[in-house]
Structure 1
Amino acid sequence: MSHHRLAPNVHEHNNALEEALGALRSELELPGPYPEHAVRDAEAAVAALELPSHDLTGVDFVTIDPASSTDLDQALFIEADGGGYHVLYAIADVPAFVKPGGPLDQETRRRGQTFYAPDGRIPLHPEVISEGAGSLLPGQECPAFVWDFRLDGNADVTSASVRRARMRSRAKLSYRGAQAQLDAGGASPVLQLLKEVGLKRVELERARDGASLNMPEQEIVQLPDGGYRIAAAPQLPVEDWNAQISLMTGMAAAQIMLDGQVGILRTMPAPDERSLNHFKLQTEALGKPWDGEVSYGEYLRSLDPTEPRQLAIMHSAGMLFRGASYTAFDGSVPEAAIQAAIGAAYAHTTAPLRRLVDRFVLVICEALSNGGNVPGWAREALPSLPEIMAGSDQLASRMERMALDTVEAALLVNHIGQEFDAIVISGSKPQKDNGNGNNGRNGNGKNGNGNGGSGIIQVAEPAVTARCAGDLESGTKVRVRLLSSNIATREVHFELVG
């Protein structure tokens, strides 16, 4: 992981950065403090909570999350089951705390999801729920929707059901800690089986031509001195294995709702020929050509994000993951029910503390799984959820991109006139932007100087991406000069040297 600190002698720039990041809240009209009447509604729900009668507190559940997380949605237990596996996956019972039509329900529909702003989290639910009674914290008895899976020896699902239960997590594990235990050979049986099942689920993903774009995660981290840095690191293997359990649950939820002909799916069309052809050209330019003989998912799995040219290919691959949306249905099954990147029907159901739609999916699946009636309030909400979630997703993406651009501008502000080594992620050669949008950065405000060609570069140190003026060829290593960097406007201008 590479850490980039602001120079200690630029306190005025630190202040400008803090002001610019703080301004994002008002500029994007992000939700403010939680309304008091909604907080009171949440507190009353916590006080009146009755735990489910079905008792699974004897099961050794564990949670695996980033070390700093306190809003814990999922807890896992796996055991061997003959020649296969038995998986219990507990998901926070957020519906137990939200009265339909009440102040809390209305506020969560206004927010749509938790926003992770650089100057603090903006939660979907009040902390009394999201970091208290509703979070699957270790040692705390919690209500949960517990998914019960039976898997065969290949980790393929043979049966899946979900019911409400009380549970208690035994331990809060971090990704790094869990990976360290696995690497050292001293991991618990649950972690060892997670690795075993996760690897087999990856093979099943390959078999159905599923694809994952595991970009190195970038996080804006505030420093003790008030400055910021951008932390980036490839995902750990245990993160992928843990994600496979979540994907398996989302696929099971989708199938239950399709069988019951009511619910809401996360759908995405397959990439069109134009996007695929453009991507092939990019891979050729970047020195690792994809000939289409293997699936694009298999090709993406072969990429190494620590190698600059292959990281550039992963940036270019974003064009293959477009068009994701939410598809609600009631009474008939939608024709376009597949999430193409997953290679199956899929629904969001494992993060109800942080994402609104999951609350409805859980309630619908629990009713259908146990032969009950889907609650009227959940059915009535279905038509409105796609628009709520689409607007929330767009807002979160804009905030993340603008925040990162702001910090990148701050990292560069003391280096105007200096030269840097960079690699061209997307250039004006061998092909100009054909409308796929690959030569831009989704409206981030970083523009070239308008003279001649331009493209997107990845600067080696500090690790930032920006638009650069000049005749640029994708995949080439170049020398660039920083012309300007403006924290307030998030604009960074480079030019090609020589």
Structure 2
Amino acid sequence: MPQRRSHVAPSAAQSELAAALAELRAEIDAPTQFSPEAIAEAERASAPPPELDLRDVPFATLDPIGSKDLDQAFHLERRGSGFQVRYAIADVPSFVTPGGAVDAEARLRGQTLYLADGSIPLHPRVLSEDRASLLPDVERPALVWTFTLDEAGAVEDFRLERALIRSRAQLDYVAAQRALDRGDDGPLALLPAIGAARQAQEQQRGGASLNLPDEEVVQRPDGHYDIERRHPLPIEDWNAQLSLMTGMAAAELMIDAKVGVLRTMPEPDERAFERFRLQTEALGRPWREGRYGEYLRGLDRSDPMTLPVLEAAASLFRGAGYVTFDGAVPDDIEQAAIAAPYAHATAPLRRLVDRWSLAICLAVSAGGQAPSWARESLTELPELMQQSGQRASRLNADTVNRVEAALLRPLVGQRVEATVIELRGDDRAAVQLADPAVTATAPVPAGTAPGSTVSLTLVRTDVAKGTVEFAA
């Protein structure tokens, strides 16, 4: 898929950038170190052995290259004219003692934070990257979802069990995509068929998964920072469908049990739809008929105008939150983009709420009651996750802004061309530069429409603050 790498900033700007990123890490409003009690508890933590032994099933993991916090492993096989999907999730509930030191630290964090020079994990690394991680060639307890799908990819049946597994391979997206493109046999051979079938199911539901191009700050071997922007590979979309399927199953279990936590999002209102429709017309890729999900799925990812269209579409995917319930299921429980009730239940090493979802689902799937610790703390989850989500968004934006300021430093005083992707008032707009690949806010002439190309002069950059200033 198309990938764009920005320019590399000069050494002086890189030195200033390194200092700015170090200061940003120090300013994060979240703990960056674990207490001695939490580390000691994590080092002692052990999970009771599962009764079910699935070590003979050749599970594999699929993650970004170099990942160590492996939440999911899968096994795919044909079953008659359909498929069987086993999706194993790291058994974090068995390793974390409710009310203990690790639990307390995780609630303070809410999720793993990712920085340009590393991460701040949700759990001590001895758990998240070792003892609870589904690393290859080691035995691990896991919460295994088993799905029976018909030939069209519809779920006929599913179950959740705790089992002992042994992953056989740690795969990364890029190498795995190349293997599929070559037609290699292996653990991923059925993923394109299953992923495509699940995408068709999503389309029938009226869902609209939006995989925006990644904008990732990377540190090169020479220590310099850079920004890479790329469209997700097809294999990432197919893999995401397995996670979505699991999240819908988790939601179904909790709704039936009348206790749990769901990830919700309202349907965009007519004003949002009309604004997006006007933006697509201005970008020369008009959305005139059909559901917006069908329109987004039909975009040509090799088309340079797809990027601004997808970024404009992000305005339709706002308002997501969490709703908890115990005893009565709320009226508004749907995740509009998925077009079904949905729960976060596949990333417990990196996201706090998943531990509650998994613990509740495991208990009710075995015919029992939701754990008392989970029920007692359900109402705390929405605020904890909202705070951590806001923290992660600020951190990501602040990091990208500082790196972009450093990358633009060589262009101060020069004229650059940019595409208007969103108006922000009468005389300002969000603009997209192609090279370096930077999104910024800049003044534009009155009457400028989204999709227009404007000529700007870069006046100044401030790497420490992550700000840039353009003149029309």
User: How big is the shift at 1:402?
Assistant: 1.0
Residue 450 of structure 2: aligned partner:
474
- Aligned positions of 1:6-405 closer than 5 A: 6-7=8-9, 10-46=10-46, 49-188=47-186, 190-291=187-288, 293-405=289-401
| Offset from partner CA, 1:314-373 (integer Å, 9 cap, x none) | 111111111100000000111001000000000000000000000110010011111012
What CA distance in whole angstroms lies between the structure 2 residues aligned with 1:218 and 1:184? 27
What CA distance in whole angstroms lies between the structure 1 residues aligned with 2:162 and 2:218? 37
Q: State the superposition RMSD in angstroms.
A: 1.3
User: How big is the shift at 1:306?
Assistant: 4.5
User: How big is the shift at 1:119?
Assistant: 2.1
User: How big is the shift at 1:194?
Assistant: 1.3
Q: Is the 8 A contact 2:299 2:306 kept in 1?
A: yes
Alpha-carbon distance change, 50 to 96 in structure 1, aligned in 2, over 3 angstroms:
same
What CA distance in whole angstroms lies between the structure 2 residues aligned with 1:186 and 1:305? 24
3-state SS of paired residue (1:422):
strand
- Aligned positions of 1:430-445 closer than 5 A: 433=425
What CA distance in whole angstroms lies between the structure 1 residues aligned with 2:136 and 2:444? 55
3-state SS of paired residue (1:405):
helix
The structure, 1 or 2, with the larger RCO (C-alpha pairs under 8 Å, 6+ apart) is 2
User: How big is the shift at 1:31?
Assistant: 2.1
3-state SS of paired residue (2:470):
strand
Q: Is the 8 A contact 2:412 2:460 kept in 1?
A: yes
User: How big is the shift at 1:419?
Assistant: 1.5
Q: Please report the TM-score for the alignment, with normalisation by the length of structure 1.
A: 0.92
Residue 460 of structure 1: aligned partner:
434
The aligned amino acid for 2:241 is: Q
Residue 448 of structure 1: aligned partner:
none
- In structure 1, the gaps of 5 or more residues are 434-451
- In structure 2, the gaps of 5 or more residues are none
User: How big is the shift at 1:4?
Assistant: 2.8
What CA distance in whole angstroms lies between the structure 2 residues aligned with 1:478 and 1:128? 51
| Offset from partner CA, 1:31-90 (integer Å, 9 cap, x none) | 2112111010111114xx332121000001000111111100000001111121111110
More off after superposition, 76-85 vs 324-333: 76-85
User: How big is the shift at 1:5?
Assistant: 4.5
3-state SS of paired residue (1:192):
coil
What CA distance in whole angstroms lies between the structure 2 residues aligned with 1:142 and 1:389? 27
Q: Is the 8 A contact 1:178 1:187 kept in 2?
A: no
Q: Is the 8 A contact 1:5 1:228 kept in 2?
A: no
Identity over aligned pairs, percent: 50
The aligned amino acid for 1:25 is: R
3-state SS of paired residue (2:341):
coil
What CA distance in whole angstroms lies between the structure 2 residues aligned with 1:307 and 1:154? 30
Alpha-carbon distance change, 181 to 68 in structure 1, aligned in 2, over 3 angstroms:
same
The aligned amino acid for 1:29 is: D
What CA distance in whole angstroms lies between the structure 2 residues aligned with 1:11 and 1:217? 26
Q: Please report the TM-score for the alignment, with normalisation by the length of structure 2.
A: 0.97
What CA distance in whole angstroms lies between the structure 2 residues aligned with 1:180 and 1:258? 40
User: How big is the shift at 1:163?
Assistant: 1.2
What CA distance in whole angstroms lies between the structure 1 residues aligned with 2:392 and 2:39? 23
What CA distance in whole angstroms lies between the structure 1 residues aligned with 2:210 and 2:83? 28
Q: Is the 8 A contact 1:286 1:310 kept in 2?
A: no
What CA distance in whole angstroms lies between the structure 1 residues aligned with 2:129 and 2:27? 28
Alpha-carbon distance change, 344 to 179 in structure 1, aligned in 2, over 3 angstroms:
same
User: How big is the shift at 1:187?
Assistant: 2.7
What CA distance in whole angstroms lies between the structure 1 residues aligned with 2:14 and 2:76? 47
What CA distance in whole angstroms lies between the structure 2 residues aligned with 1:225 and 1:180? 27
The aligned amino acid for 1:404 is: V
The aligned amino acid for 1:3 is: R
